[in-house]
């Protein structure tokens, strides 16, 4: 073990040197030793993965807090998506999960959801059954939300896409009003048609309808909102219902 240490910087030497190999201090005894041995300053620690992880956790917590605050205030579908993406659960906007064994699905609806049925001539038994919920305090209900289903049969040689289009056109004709948009699409992989209608009769005046019809086998499903609003909050509520549907 080297014992010849420089009294200035502490560097070790195998043999007694005239000068320190690091700092050049004269070590032949002709120079008075310094009062204390100098040491090199430790380089600043680099920010490693552990520190970055801590910072990431702090950012997520802050985002979660902000999302929770927004969710409590608005309860909107867009905020729900943000809350789901960052993994924050357990916040309720007052809606409940409705389980429909006959329809084979669950869906989130306002707490006043109740079983209902509506006439629909193209269905096998002439009607669709399901659920109706309302938003707003009676008699000033501003939005009605329907989730309906029923058995249907395609025409000879008709594809599923053509069937749902034909049924969607039949419903739009029965509903009346002015068709604002009409789009052939899919819902969870099933052929669907989505449309909006304005100037539809609702609550004694002009109303607005958002609707999605999709075909799952021989079962037609209808998700629909009738509202005094032409956009949000009715559109957000319509999307929130669609986003919540899960088949069991």
Share of the chain above pLDDT 70, in %: 70
Mean pLDDT of 59-63: 53
| Average pLDDT of the chain to the nearest whole number | 80
Transcribe 213-225 into DSSP letters: EEEETTEEEEEEE
> How many Å separate Cα 190 from the centre of its chain?
21
The full DSSP string for 17-86 is -SB-TTT--B-SSSSPPPSS---PPPPPPP--HHHHHHHHHHHHHHHHHHHHHHHHHH--HHHHHHHHHT
How far is residue 236's CA from residue 242's CA, in Å, rounded to a whole number? 10
Q: pLDDT tens-digit profile of 67-118?
A: 444 433 334 444 444 434 433 333 337 899 999 999 999 999 999 999 999 9
Q: What is the pLDDT of residue 14?
A: 67
Cα separation of 17 and 34, whole Å?
Answer: 17
pLDDT of residue 18: 79
* Per-residue pLDDT, 25: 76
CATH 3.90.660 fits domain 97-247? no
**143-201 residue pLDDT tens:** 999 999 999 998 889 999 999 999 999 999 999 999 999 999 999 999 999 999 999 99
Distance CA 134, CA 241 (A): 13
Looking at the DSSP bridge assignments, the partners of residue 210 are 196, 225
**What tokens appear for 79 in the block?**
């905020």
Distance CA 229, CA 141 (A): 11
Q: Domain segments of the chain: what residues?
A: 1-42, 44-93, 97-247
Between 112 and 6, where is the model more confident? 112
Q: How far apart are CA 63 and CA 42, in angstroms?
A: 36
Tokens encoding 67: 């999302």
Task: Look up tokens 């608005």; give the residue.
Answer: 74
Residue 99 parent element (H or E): strand 96-100
pLDDT of residue 56: 54
Pairing of strands 219-227, 205-216: antiparallel
> What pLDDT is attached to residue 83?
39
């Amino acid at each position: 073990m080297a014992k010849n240490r420089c009294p200035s910087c502490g560097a070790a030497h195998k043999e007694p040197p005239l000068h320190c190999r690091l700092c050049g201090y004269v070590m032949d005894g002709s120079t008075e030793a310094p009062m204390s041995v100098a040491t090199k300053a430790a380089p600043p620690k680099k920010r490693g993965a552990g520190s970055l992880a801590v910072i990431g956790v702090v950012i997520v917590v802050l985002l979660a807090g902000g999302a929770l605050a927004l969710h409590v205030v608005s309860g909107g579908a867009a905020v729900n998506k943000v809350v789901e993406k960052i993994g924050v659960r357990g916040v309720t906007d007052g809606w409940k999960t409705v389980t429909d064994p006959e329809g084979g699905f669950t869906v989130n609806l306002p707490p006043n959801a109740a079983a209902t049925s509506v006439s629909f001539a193209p269905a096998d038994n002439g009607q669709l059954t399901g659920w109706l919920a309302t938003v707003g305090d009676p008699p000033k209900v501003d939005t009605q939300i329907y989730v309906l289903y029923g058995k249907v049969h395609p025409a000879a040689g008709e594809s599923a896409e053509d069937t749902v289009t034909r049924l969607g056109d039949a419903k739009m004709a029965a509903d009346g009003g002015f068709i604002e948009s009409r789009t052939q699409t899919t819902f969870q992989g099933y052929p669907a048609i989505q449309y909006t209608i304005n100037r539809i009769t609702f609550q004694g005046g002009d109303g607005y309808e958002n609707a999605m019809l999709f075909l799952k086998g021989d079962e037609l499903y209808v998700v629909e909102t009738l509202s005094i609003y032409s956009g949000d909050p009715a559109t957000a509520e319509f999307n929130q219902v669609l986003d919540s549907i899960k088949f069991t």
